[in-house]
Amino acid sequence: MPQSRKTFEEIQNIIDKIEFMDWKLRLLSKGDGYLLQWVFNELDVEHPEKGPQPQHCRKWYLSPFSTETEIVETAWKACWIAMMHEVSERFSYNSKRIYSPHFAVSARIDMCNREVYDVRED
């Protein structure tokens, strides 16, 4: 049986049941579908002196034909990726955030091109 089209309110009712720490899920209309985004207050790693600031995670597309399970699993995936982002920002080695998710793709490609690998010989 085909999945019926969900309204903004129907999807909002589903995400209103999702809880994670003090984070909030935001639902936005976008074209023919919707966007899901986690929002929370946290110190900005670049400006901790400003105190906790609103943090907005990446947006995830939701089709209006998504099932309840797909909506909940998208929120779970978005949460998982957001937590990985936070961990990557805060992990440092030698006082450098070596896993920063904000490194430009071009800088990563440059590192690959220079073949700066640290591998163990067997």
Residues 3, 22 contacting (CB under 8 angstroms) = no
Average pLDDT, the chain: 94
**Can you tell me the mean pLDDT for 80-98?**
95
Residues 83, 57: Cα–Cα separation, whole Å:
10
pTM for the model: 0.85
What are the domain boundaries of the chain? 8-89
pLDDT tens, residue by residue, 6-64 = 999 999 999 999 999 999 999 999 999 999 999 999 988 888 899 999 999 999 999 99
